[in-house]
Amino acid sequence: MPEPRPPAIILMDPQLAENIGSAARVMANFGLEDLRIVRPRDGWPLERAWVAASGADWPLDNARICRTVDEAIGDLQLIYAATARPRETQLPVFTPRQAAAELLSASGEGLRTGIMFGPERAGLETADIALCHGILTVPVDERFRSLNLAQAVAVACYEWRAGILDAPRQAFAHNIDPPVPAEAMIGLFEHLESELDDAGFFHPPEKKPSMVRNLRVALGRARMTDQEVRTFRGVVTALSRGRGRVLAKRAAALAARKAGEDKG
Amino acid sequence: MPEPRPPAIILMDPQLAENIGSAARVMANFGLEDLRIVRPRDGWPLERAWVAASGADWPLDNARICRTVDEAIGDLQLIYAATARPRETQLPVFTPRQAAAELLSASGEGLRTGIMFGPERAGLETADIALCHGILTVPVDERFRSLNLAQAVAVACYEWRAGILDAPRQAFAHNIDPPVPAEAMIGLFEHLESELDDAGFFHPPEKKPSMVRNLRVALGRARMTDQEVRTFRGVVTALSRGRGRVLAKRAAALAARKAGEDKG
Which residues in A lie closer than 8 A to residue B165 (C-beta atoms)? Answer: 95, 139
Concatenated DSSP letters for B66-97?
A: ESSHHHHHTT-SEEEEESS--SS----EE-HH
For chain A, say whether B61 makes contact (Cβ under 8 Å). Answer: no
A-chain CB neighbours of B17 within 8 Å are none
The pLDDT value recorded for residue B247 is 62
Output the pLDDT for position B91: 83
Give the one of A25, A140, A154 whose C-beta lies nearest to B30's C-beta. A140
Query: Among B25, B155, B162, whose Cβ lies nearest the Cβ of A97?
Result: B162
Compare CB distances from B146 to A55, A139, A161 and report the shortest one's residue: A55
Q: What confidence score (pLDDT) does residue A85 get?
A: 67
Name the least confident of A52-56, A219-223, B76-80, B223-227: A219-223
Query: Would the CB atoms of B140 and A97 count as touching at under 8 Å?
Result: no
Element (H, E) at B194: helix B182-198
Compute φ and ψ for A3, nearest 5 degrees: -55, 135
Q: Is the dihedral of CA B232, B234, B236, B238 positive or negative?
A: negative
B22 touches chain A (CB under 8 A): yes
User: What average pLDDT is seen over chain B?
Assistant: 87
Bridge partners, B135 (sequence order): B81, B93
- What are the CA-CA distances from residue A170 to residues A1, A104, A108, A164 (Å)? 8, 11, 9, 11
Single out the residue of B97, B130, B106 nearest to residue B116, CA to CA.
Answer: B130
Average pLDDT over residues B235-242: 74
Distance (Å, whole) CA B232 – CA B185: 10
Lowest mean pLDDT among A44-58, B8-22, B208-222: B208-222
List CB contacts of B249: < 8 A, sequence separation 6 or more.
none
DSSP B243-260: HHHHHHHHHHHHHHHHHH
CB of B165 less than 8 A from some CB of A: yes
- Candidates A214, A83, A209; CA nearest to A137 is A83
Of B31, B55, B97, the CB nearest to A146: B55
Report the gap between the CA of A25 and the closest CA in chain B (Å).
8
Region at A128 (left for phi over 0; alpha for psi -120 to 50; beta for the rest): alpha
Subunit contact A141:B30, Cβ cutoff 8 A:
yes
In percent, how much of chain B has pLDDT > 90? 56
- Put simply, whether A22 touches B (Cβ < 8 Å) is yes
Average of per-residue pLDDT across B79-94: 82
pLDDT of B201 higher than 90 = no
Nearest 5°: phi and psi at A181? -65, 160
3-state helix/strand/coil string of B117-152: ECCCCCCCCHHHHCCCCEEECCCCCCCCCCCCHHHH
Q: Nearest Cβ partner of A144 from B22, B56, B97?
A: B56
Residues found in chain A: 264
Residue contact B155–A154, C-beta within 8 A? yes
pLDDT along chain A (264 residues), means of 10: 86 98 98 98 98 98 97 95 77 92 93 96 90 93 95 98 73 57 91 86 88 83 83 80 62 77 61
Summarize pLDDT for B20-59 with one digit per residue, the tens: 999 999 999 999 999 999 999 999 999 999 999 999 999 9
- The answer to whether residues A170 and A32 touch, using CB atoms and an 8 Å cutoff, is no
Nearest chain A alpha carbon to B156: A155
* A167-181 exposure pattern, b = at least 16 Cβ within 10 A, e = fewer: eeeeeeeeeeebbbb
3-state secondary structure of A116: strand
Residues of B in contact with A97 (CB under 8 A): 162
> Nearest by CB to B148, which of A22, A30, A145?
A22
- Residue A146: which of B54, B139, B158 has the nearest Cβ? B54
Instruction: Give burial (CB, 10 Å; 0-12/13-18/19+) of A70.
Output: middle
A29 touches chain B (CB under 8 A): yes
The answer on pLDDT for B70 being more than 90 is yes
Tell whether A24 lies on the interface with B, counting CB pairs under 8 A: no
- Nearest CB partner across the interface for A56, out of B30, B144, B165: B144
The Cα–Cα gap between A22 and B148 comes to 8
At residue A82, the 3 state secondary structure works out as: strand
d(CA A232, CA A261): 43
pLDDT at residue B238, rounded to an integer: 75
pLDDT digits (tens, 9 = 90+) for B122-181: 899 988 998 998 999 999 999 999 999 999 999 999 999 999 988 654 433 344 578 889
Q: Which residues of B touch A162 (CB under 8 A)?
A: 95-97, 139
Q: How many CA atoms lie within 13 A of B131 on its CB side?
A: 31
In the three-class reduction of DSSP (H, G, I as helix; E, B as strand; rest coil), residue A238 is classed as helix
- Check A148 against B31: CB less than 8 A apart: no
Give the per-residue pLDDT at A170. Answer: 39
How far, rounded to the nearest angstrom, does the alpha carbon of residue B110 sit from its chain's CA centroid?
18
Give the span between the Cα atoms of A197 and A176, in whole angstroms. Answer: 34
First to last CA, chain B: 82
B188/chain A closest Cα distance in angstroms: 38
Cα separation of B125 and A194, whole Å?
A: 64
The per-residue pLDDT for A141 is 95
Residue A17 sits at the chain B interface (C-beta within 8 Å): no
What per-residue confidence (pLDDT) applies to A263? 61
Name the residue in chain A with its Cα closest to that of B120.
A54
**Which of A82, A80, A69 is closest to A117 using CA atoms?**
A82
Give the span between the Cα atoms of B206 and B214, in whole angstroms.
Answer: 14
Q: Does B101 touch chain A (CB under 8 A)?
A: no
- More confident site: B69 or A231: B69
> Across B97-230, where does the E strand assignment appear?
113-117, 134-136
Residue A176 is predicted with a pLDDT of: 54
How sure is the predictor about B244, in pLDDT bands with cuts at 50, 70 and 90?
A: low
Instruction: Fill in the amino acid letter for B203.
Output: H
Considering only CB atoms, A155 lies closest to which of B25, B56, B154, namely: B154
Question: Considering only CA atoms, which of A11, A10, A199, B92 is closest in space to residue A191?
Answer: A199
**pLDDT at residue number B140:** 95
Position A174 scores a pLDDT of: 39
Query: Does B150 contact chain A (CB < 8 Å)?
Result: yes
Does B227 or B183 have the greater pLDDT score?
B183
Q: How far is A73 from chain B (nearest CA, A)?
A: 25
Chosen from B54, B98, B158 to mutate, greatest number of chain A CBs within 10 A: B158
Taking a C-beta distance cutoff of 8 angstroms, is the pair B29, A149 a contact? no
Q: Which one, of A202, A206, A205, A217, lies nearest residue A87 by Cα?
A: A217
| B151 interaction partners in chain A (CB closer than 8 Å) | 22, 25-26, 29, 150-151, 154
**Neighbouring-strand partners of residue A135:** A81, A93
Neighbours of A82 (CB within 10 A): 26
Say yes or no for a CB contact (<8 Å) between B143 and A54. Answer: no
Q: What is the pLDDT of residue A128?
A: 93
Q: What is the mean pLDDT of residues B207-218?
A: 85
Which amino acid, residue A2? Answer: P
- What pLDDT does B79 receive? 95
Contacts of B95 in chain A (CB under 8 A): 162, 165
- Rounded mean pLDDT, B9-23: 98
Contact B116, B170 (CB under 8 A): no
**Distance of alpha carbon A255 from alpha carbon A252, whole angstroms:** 5
